[in-house]
Each structure stands twice: as structure tokens, then as C-alpha cells.
Chain A
Amino acid sequence: MLEVRNLTKHYRRIVAVDGISFTIRPGEVLGFLGPNGAGKSTTVKVLIGLIEPTRGEILFKGKDVRLDWPGFLRVAGYVPEEPNLYSQLTGREYLQLTGRLRGLARAALEARMDRLLRLFSLWEDRHVLLSSYSKGMRQKIMLSAALLHDPELLVLDEPFSGLDVNTALILRSLIGALSQEGKMIFYSSHVLETVEKVCTSVLILRKGSAVAHDRVEHLRDLLRQPSLEAVFTQLTQQEDPGRVVQEIIAAIRS
């Protein structure tokens, strides 16, 4: 079980994340939602150890991860929002680099890598430099790299970005299958329809604070809204889209 308690991150005087807490049990998929600047990416970066939290605890299987970061990262897989990859490596070389850095033995690594490349339809392009890959292909490489070591926890930040319809359907099913296998999945996204379909619960952030954390159907019932999108709009106090559209049209005509 992954437990985040009172997680806070300050950048000098700016509060990016303000005391959020959540739990992901084995088999659960937590949808992490919020408008731009709400603190989603900061939370993800803290979770994966890219930045230090100002306060708060992250417990994995009851143990503070800071006491054994390498141990925690060994069982975590991460798909970042931006597909920042070494574009001078080929797709296969990137997976090889990731696998080796995770300490996978050669035989196991080669076999897994090649199977994943075939399954994600990247086999033909495995010796092509990543700079020549399309956005969707790069995303598939990121997903393969995150799954390569069979992680217990998956941290996915906009994993559907750039994927074609077919791969998106596969990934959606894969998330479901992995959760049934007892994996913990932290899923950050802006695509509310997908979140509604794949997540067991959601946490909605607004200005660094959690404004809701519950199962999707509970939230819908509680706020008497027909969809997650409506729940999200209500909780995050989004501006009226119609008014903003009118203002944009006025701005370009000025």
C-alpha cells in the first residue's frame, strides 16, 4: 500500500502542494485531477523522488520511503508527462539503458524488451533513433520502459498523450488488468472521460490542496452531477467557458 500523508511542497514562498494525503491499496487506480498549476506535476515529482517535499511522509508498505529510496524506486515505474528521452538513442537502446540501470540481468532484459517492442508495434522501428519517432511512438517507449521491471507501483502522468486509438484501448485495458493483478496505479490526467473509466477513486486538486478524494460514483452522487467532468468543473471553480470564448474573440478583433 502507498500512503501519502500531509505532503507539502513550497517553492520559496509559493505553496505548490499544501498538505495532501491519499492512499493507494494493491489493485487500486487513483485518478489525480486538477487544472493547470494545481500541483499535480509537483506531487508526481515528489512521489518519484525528483524533488524533495517540504513536509509530509510517503509510506510504502508501511515504511517511510525516504529511509530506502532505492528500494522504493526499484518497485516503481514512471511515465512522465513530457516524453523527454535521449533522442540520439534508438528505441531498443533506450529500453536497454533503462533495464540496465534497473539492474536487470541481460537474458531477462533482452527477452522482455523484445517482447514489449513487438507488442507495442515498435519492432520494425527498434533500430531507429528516437528523434525520428512520432509522439505516440515515444509514449509507447516510455510505457515499455516503465513496465520493463514488472513494478508494483505505476506512476502515470498523462500516459495516453499522443497514442493512437488502438494503443489507447490496449493501455486502458492494460491498466485494468494490472490493477486486477494487484498493482497500485497513480494516474494523473486531464482527460476526465478516461479517468472515469479506468480509476477506482479520484483525488481532485485545486491550488495545491485536495478538494475531493473519493470514489467516482460517490462524488457524482454527493454533488448531484451527471459526470466526472461536471463534478470537476464545480469543485475546481473553472471559469465559464462561454464567457472566455467571447473574450478571446474580442481580443483577436481588437
Chain B
Amino acid sequence: MLRDWLEQTHSTGFELRRHFLLRFFDSELVSDSSQAKVVAGGALGILLSLSLVFGQAYYRKYRLLLELPTPDLYRQAVLADVLFLVTLTMTFSGLFTTIQWPALFPGRRDYLALAALPVRMREVFLAKFTALLAVTLVMITCAALPPSVMIPAMMIGRYGNGTGRHVAGIFIASLLGGLFVFFTLVTLQGVLLNVLPIRLFPRISLAIQGLLLGMLLAGLPFVFSIPGLYARMDQLPSWSVYVPPLWFFGIDQIIFGNREPTINSLFRIAVLASLASAAAATLTYVWSYGRHRIRVLESPSVESVGVGRFWPNEAGSWFLTDPRTLAVFAFVTKMLGRSRQHRLFLTAFTALSLALISQSFANLSLAGGHFRTISGSTEGVRELVIAIPLGFSFFLLVGLRYLFRLPVELRANWLFRTIEPGHAPALLMGVERFLLAWGTLPVAVLTLPIEISMLGARTGLEAAILCLLISFLLIEVLLFTFEKIPFTSSYLPGRCPLIETVLKYSVSAACYVSGIAALVSFALKTGASTLLFTTILGVGWWRLRRARIAARQISRIEFEELFEPAVQLLGIERE
């Protein structure tokens, strides 16, 4: 019945909304559309597993708190958890809106595609805005509703009452908080769209998108540390009126019946902020409707590359003698610099490494809820300083290897396919050189001052050399089975189950960063152990590299990702 109804043609507005809703999750990176379902299923599975783990942990936590003789700690924990859930939803909304950043307003493609159709521009804008709002509402509700119901249910006990109010409070506060973030970001883009010259907009918009993504990802560990701030929840500082999650925390508290003056003012700010952000987003949409289409369509679409941007290419030609190796090196550099999606992914990986490192520093300096000065003399700090280059190079190298799998204009790869026979080793050498030049050396150079200032000149330099050698080894491991020219192969995100990938990378990151940092710290204790460790690493790297290059002589470059051999033999594919 519903299916039949959906298959019918409806009003223009309905059809436009249907079009925008279906196109929200389109990606040119994935060569097989069914793969998106596989990945979404995998992500849902991980989310459910995590919810179970978190749920159990929360259940135990509140059982213990409910057994305490006084309710003080219980009450403080509830407040901290409410703030955590509200902040988490706001961060999720921010991440979702940032990822959807290029699709927040109708773009050139929409205008051109719909130009020949009898559709008013007002209808296009209205449909886009309402479709966007609908998707965001669904996403925020999905993120906010389950914890809003589950967590208060676990709080039930002799100190816990008013569960219904808690559910309503957390849900409404999270929903409004999420919408506030969404509307604010839409407003930000709307203002940029109308104020900036059209020629500059793509670059600035991309930079802002990257910045937002980096900030949100790097801030995630701090969001997850909010439950640990329970001791500070009783007395909110005066600057809390400048912290948006606390505004919406005020909504929950008002619904719960708290009438303290600070909470009242936070509540008022939250309501005002919600209304103002929604009004501002609507206004920017109306503003754009009037002039954006004309600005986009009537601006020259010619995009030039400044001559000053050729330096990476020129720099590459100094140390790469084979033109084919240089071709791949320059190609990868340019594509990574110019592909919006690839740059965004790289930003995300860098933000993750930044988050990991800043979280470790925060843990060390905030031990026991009090700030303390960090000095390089303790073993923990020493390992942490060594973990900085290791963490950055791990996320950067693993991130780059992942990015290399994502295609850029797949159909243009015929150029490499026709050149590849007989030249695979020279072409793949370009990939190795790129990783060496952009994945290890900048990290070593940029982190060297930190190592020297924290560990002293000699130890800092030794640590930098050891970390550099370790990242060379990592390159060998990452490239051992990688027989592709970056961005030229089709991509099957569901080739490997998501849970397996996440587990593999999480465990590898933990082992690589913390395990090797401890090992390097141990090796740096004496001159002899440092020399021995350097020699082992150097020889290991050299042997591994020789083995990889020998294997490459007989290999062919892969231009199409295939399902795992067992799946192919059975003739079944994951859907």
C-alpha cells in the first residue's frame, strides 16, 4: 500500500524532497552503492555492541552509588551524566552537519540539473531546507532517544525519583542542543555563502569544514571525560553561561524541577539560543534564495591553480630521477591537496591523533581532578613525549593508506592502466616516496622541538631518530600488500567487516603507540641499548624493504578491489 503510494508521482515539492532525501548519502567514492548498506549495517552493529557495554557499566555504577549511605555522590553523578549526554548529542549533531556541510544549501549542480524543469527556485530552497531538517531531526532523535530512556532507567533506586521527568528532560535538552548546533552551522555557511566572493567560497568553506571536523573529533575524548567531572557539578562557575552544553543542561534541570538562579539563567539562554539559531538559519536561507543562484551561475566557473603551488612537484623532481616515480609522487600530492573529500578524511585522522595525545596529556596533568605541572623526568611523561611522533605518524600513515584506496575520478584511471605493464615497480616507488616525504619527515621535524625541550637535546634527538625508523618500518608493513596507485582503484568499503577493521586498527594503534613508546623509552636509558635498538630497527627495515621490493617485481598493479577469495569462490557477495 505504502509502496504503491510512494511509487506514484506526487506534487513538485514532494518530488523535490524525495530527491534531496535520497541524495543526501550519495558518495562518489564508493563504486558499488550496495556497499553503503554493508558499512551502515556494520556501524549499527558496533553502536549496538558499544551501547550494551556502556549500558552494563552504567548499571553497575548506579547500583554502587545507590548503595552509598548519602545521596550526594549519586546526585553529582546524575548531573555529570546528564551534561555528558547533552554534550554528546550536540557533538554528534555537529559531526553530522559538518560531514553534510557541502549539501547544506542547494549548489551549482542542483541549479543546473533542475534548470530545465518547471520548478520554482523558491520550491527548491524550501524542499532542500525541509529535507535537510527532516534528516537532521531523525539523526538527532536516533542519537538522543535511546540514552535518554536507558540512562534514567538505570538511575532508578532509593535516591532516584522522577524518572519520567528525567527522560523528558534529557531528551528535550539533547534534541534542542543538537538542533542549536545544526542551525548555527547552517547559519555560518549561509553567511559565508552570501558574504564571501564566490571564487573564494569553496576554499574557505573547505577550511572551515576541516577545522570544525578537527575540533569536534579532537574534542571527543573530553566529552567522554565529562562523567569524571562529577565533583564540580554542584557549583557551576560564572563562565558556564558561555558554554553551550551547559545552557541545554539548564533545560533538563528546569524540567526536573531545579529552580536555582544559575539554572534559570542557563535555561533562558538555551531557549533564546534555540530560537535565535533557528531564525538565523531560516533568514540565511531566505537571503540565499534571493541572490545565491544568480551569484553561483553568473560567476565564472574557471578555477585556476597559482603557479606558487607547484613547489611540491618541483621539490619532488630534485630527489626522484625516474619520471614515472615522479609522476605518481606528483599525482598523489596534487590529488590529496585538491580533493575535498580526501582532505577531509586526512583532517579526521590528524584530529584523532591529536585527540589521543591531548587526552593523554590531560590525563597526566589532571590526575585526581587537580592540575599539576608536567616534567620530562618521570617515566610516564617520557613515554608520552615519545608517543607524540609515534601517534601522529601512525594515524597519518594508516590514514594515508586508507585514503589511497578511495578513488578520484575512477574512469580516468585508463591512463595508468595503459602505462602500467612493465612499469609497476617504478610507479609503486612513487607511493613509497610520497609516504616517506609527507607521512614521516614532517612529523619528525615538527615534533623534534617538543622532544628536545622535554627530554633534553641528546635524548630528544635519539628519540626522534628511533621514532623515524619505526615509522619507516610501519611504511613497509603498510605497503607490503598494497599494490595500487593511490586514487585509481575502485573501492569496496564492505570488503572487510567494519567491526574487524575497527578492532584491528584500535588494537594496532594502542599497541603501536603505547607499547613501542615504552620500548623506545627503555632503549633510551643507556647509550649501548640505544645503539642496539637503532641497529635492530635499521636492519629490520632494510630487510623488510628488500623483501617487499623483490615481491613487487612479479606483481601487477590492482585497479579493482575484489571481494575476499573465499567469497568469490562461493559466488556470493555481501549485500
List 18 additional A-B contacts (Cβ < 8 Å) besides A129-B305, A132-B302: A50-B414, A50-B418, A69-B421, A73-B421, A84-B409, A86-B335, A86-B408, A88-B334, A97-B327, A99-B323, A100-B326, A101-B419, A101-B427, A104-B323, A109-B323, A127-B305, A129-B338, A132-B301
Given A128-B302, A132-B303, does the pair A101, B416 have CB atoms closer than 8 Å?
A: yes
CB neighbors of B among A80-115 (8 A): 80, 82, 84-90, 93, 96-106, 109
Tell me, in angstroms, the Cα distance from A228 to B408 when the chains sit together: 41
- Please name all residues of chain A whose beta carbon is closer than 8 Å to the beta carbon of B326 when the two chains form the complex: 100
Chain B 400-425 interface mask (CB, 8 Å, partner A; 1/0): 00000000110110111111011100
Once the chains bind, are A88 and B339 in contact (CB under 8 Å)? Answer: yes
Once the chains bind, are A106 and B409 in contact (CB under 8 Å)? Answer: no
A26 within 8 A of B: no
B59 within 8 A of A: no
B482 within 8 A of A: no
- Please name all residues of chain B whose beta carbon is closer than 8 Å to the beta carbon of A106 when the two chains form the complex: 317, 323
Tell me, in angstroms, the Cα distance from A109 to B415 when the chains sit together: 17
Tell me, in angstroms, the Cα distance from A125 to B382 when the chains sit together: 54
Once the chains bind, are A86 and B409 in contact (CB under 8 Å)? Answer: yes
Once the chains bind, are A100 and B330 in contact (CB under 8 Å)? Answer: yes
A186 within 8 A of B: no
Once the chains bind, are A90 and B305 in contact (CB under 8 Å)? Answer: yes
Question: Chain B interface: which size bin?
Answer: 20 to 34
B331 within 8 A of A: yes
Once the chains bind, are A97 and B418 in contact (CB under 8 Å)? Answer: no
Which 8 A-B pairs rank lowest in CB-CB distance, beginning with the nearest? Answer: A70-B422, A100-B327, A69-B421, A100-B323, A84-B411, A88-B338, A84-B412, A101-B419
Once the chains bind, are B303 and A101 in contact (CB under 8 Å)? Answer: no
Given B304, B334, B417, which contacts A50 in the complex, CB threshold below 8 Å? B417
- Please name all residues of chain B whose beta carbon is closer than 8 Å to the beta carbon of A100 when the two chains form the complex: 323-324, 326-327, 330
Once the chains bind, are B414 and A102 in contact (CB under 8 Å)? Answer: no
Given A86-B409, A87-B409, does the pair A127, B307 have CB atoms closer than 8 Å?
A: yes
Task: Write the chain A residue with the least CB distance to B310.
Answer: A93
Given A99-B323, A100-B326, A129-B304, does the pair A84, B414 have CB atoms closer than 8 Å?
A: yes
Tell me, in angstroms, the Cα distance from A57 to B258 when the chains sit together: 85
Tell me, in angstroms, the Cα distance from A90 to B427 when the chains sit together: 21
- Please name all residues of chain B whose beta carbon is closer than 8 Å to the beta carbon of A49 when the two chains form the complex: 417-418, 421
Once the chains bind, are B303 and A97 in contact (CB under 8 Å)? Answer: no
Given B304, B305, B419, B427, which contacts A102 in the complex, CB threshold below 8 Å? B419
Task: Write the chain B residue with the least CB distance to A100.
Answer: B327
Chain B CB within 10 A, most for which of A98, A101, A129:
A101
B223 to chain A, nearest CB (A): 35
- Please name all residues of chain B whose beta carbon is closer than 8 Å to the beta carbon of A105 when the two chains form the complex: 323
A232 within 8 A of B: no
Given A70, A90, A98, which contacts B415 in the complex, CB threshold below 8 Å? A98
A131 within 8 A of B: yes
Once the chains bind, are B412 and A85 in contact (CB under 8 Å)? Answer: yes
Chain A CB within 10 A, most for which of B307, B326, B409:
B409
Task: Write the chain A residue with the least CB distance to B559.
Answer: A50
A48 within 8 A of B: yes
- Please name all residues of chain B whose beta carbon is closer than 8 Å to the beta carbon of A88 when the two chains form the complex: 334-335, 338-339, 408-409
Tell me, in angstroms, the Cα distance from A102 to B326 when the chains sit together: 11
A78 within 8 A of B: yes
- Please name all residues of chain B whose beta carbon is closer than 8 Å to the beta carbon of A50 when the two chains form the complex: 414, 417-418
Tell me, in angstroms, the Cα distance from A72 to B339 when the chains sit together: 33
Once the chains bind, are A70 and B338 in contact (CB under 8 Å)? Answer: no
Once the chains bind, are A73 and B419 in contact (CB under 8 Å)? Answer: yes
Chain A 45-56 interface mask (CB, 8 Å, partner B; 1/0): 000111000000
Tell me, in angstroms, the Cα distance from A90 to B331 when the chains sit together: 11
CB neighbors of A among B318-341 (8 A): 322-324, 326-327, 330-331, 334-335, 338-339
- Please name all residues of chain A whose beta carbon is closer than 8 Å to the beta carbon of B412 when the two chains form the complex: 84-87
Given A82-B411, A101-B415, A129-B303, does the pair A70, B421 have CB atoms closer than 8 Å?
A: yes
- Please name all residues of chain A whose beta carbon is closer than 8 Å to the beta carbon of B334 when the two chains form the complex: 88-89, 93
Task: Write the chain A residue with the least CB distance to B302.
Answer: A132
Tell me, in angstroms, the Cα distance from A69 to B421 when the chains sit together: 6
- Please name all residues of chain B whose beta carbon is closer than 8 Å to the beta carbon of A69 when the two chains form the complex: 421-422
- Please name all residues of chain B whose beta carbon is closer than 8 Å to the beta carbon of A102 when the two chains form the complex: 323, 419
Task: Write the chain B residue with the least CB distance to A94.
Answer: B415
B550 to chain A, nearest CB (A): 20
- Please name all residues of chain A whose beta carbon is closer than 8 Å to the beta carbon of B317 when the two chains form the complex: 106
- Please name all residues of chain B whose beta carbon is closer than 8 Å to the beta carbon of A101 when the two chains form the complex: 323-324, 327, 415-416, 419, 423, 427
Chain A 112-143 interface mask (CB, 8 Å, partner B; 1/0): 00000000000001011101100000000000
B277 to chain A, nearest CB (A): 35
